[in-house]
Amino acid sequence: MRIDLSPTSWGRVIVVTVVGTAICIGAAFFVDSFNFPHLSPEALWHAQLTDLFLPLVLAGSFFFFLMFKMRQLAIAQKELSIVAATDSLTAVFNRGAFSMLVEAYLDQARSQAVVNAGAFLIVDADHFKTINDRLGHDCGDQALKLIAKTIQDQLRGADIVGRIGGEEFAVFLPGADPSQSWLVAEGIRRRIREVEFAPGGRPCPLSVSIGGIAFSGPTTYADMFRVADEHLYKAKSNGRDQVSFETTGLRGPAVGDAATVH
């Protein structure tokens, strides 16, 4: 059985406490061993007990307290890093954390550590200003939470979603092929359209427009964002509540082929 020695684990506290205490006991016996030949049997017995129990109590307490505090600090740092990477309203990644994770994947793809393919989506809530103006910002916040939760429900385990603007979300689908990416984008659009949102008993239909790009081959975060944003603008211009999608670097459809669905 493998012991968890991560900074936040109890295994690390116990192992360091035991090993540190054992080293201190060994050091005490080694230093005192030069006096052992000159001691009577009774004095030798007392010296050995002292060499055992004094480090056991003092060093054991010290190492346990030290590692316990270090574990608390590691947990606090971990929680702080999660808070720093999370959008406080919707509980998805914030813009900085999202872009960092996507760029990390693209770096791995360039080194051929992962599949150099996937998709990037920008999801924008339609007529969101109207929701805020008509129902208030609290209802607008509830709508954003609902949209974020609906997006998450449509994703696979490895997919990443972040809030990159006021009512704008981005989704990265690592390793997804164009057909999978299209189904995810359309699934997000349909599910948000179907969701029930009636704050204070007043029905308020929600919808989103989605711009996306599926890639196969080297690309950058900036290039994906630019193309997806262009398609988001197309989806908005064509009436909203639709997906505008492009594939690039793929066999079959020509580079730059785009499709739009209502």
Which has more confidence, 12 or 249? 12
Task: Indicate whether 249 pLDDT > 60.
Answer: no
pLDDT of 222 reads: 93
* Residue 152's pLDDT band (cuts 50, 70, 90): very high
- Confidence (pTM): 0.72
pLDDT of 257 reads: 38
pLDDT of 75 reads: 85
* Residue 241: both structure tokens together: 């509540």
pLDDT of 254 reads: 32
* Chain mean pLDDT for the chain: 88
Give me the residue spans of the domains in the chain. 10-83, 95-249
Task: Indicate whether 74 pLDDT > 50.
Answer: yes
Let me know the angle formed at the C-alpha of 71 by 65 and 72, rounded to the nearest 5 degrees. 90
pLDDT of 1 reads: 64
Average of per-residue pLDDT across 139-162: 94
pLDDT of 63 reads: 93
Distance CA 178, CA 257 (A): 12
Known active-site residue 167: yes
DSSP the chain: -----STT-HHHHHHHHHHHHHHHHHHHHHHHTTTGGGS-HHHHHHHHHHHHHHHHHHHHHHHHHHHHHHHHHHHHHHHHHHHHHB-TTT-SEEHHHHHHHHHHHHHHHHTTSS-SEEEEEEEEETTHHHHHHHH-HHHHHHHHHHHHHHHHHTS-TT-EEEE-SSSEEEEEEET--HHHHHHHHHHHHHHHHH----GGG------EEEEEEEEES---HHHHHHHHHHHHHHHHHTTSSSEEEEEES-SSSPTT-EEEE-
Average of per-residue pLDDT across 109-133: 89
Average of per-residue pLDDT across 235-262: 65
Report pLDDT digits (tens) over 159-213.
999 999 989 999 999 999 999 999 999 999 999 999 999 888 888 999 999 999 9
* Residue 255's pLDDT band (cuts 50, 70, 90): very low
Q: Which of 103, 167, 196, 230 is catalytic?
A: 167
Distance CA 220, CA 48 (A): 67
Report pLDDT digits (tens) over 27-55.
999 998 888 888 888 888 998 999 999 99
pLDDT of 27 reads: 94
Report pLDDT digits (tens) over 215-243.
988 899 999 999 999 999 999 999 999 99
At the topology level, CATH places domain 95-249 in Alpha-Beta Plaits (3.30.70)
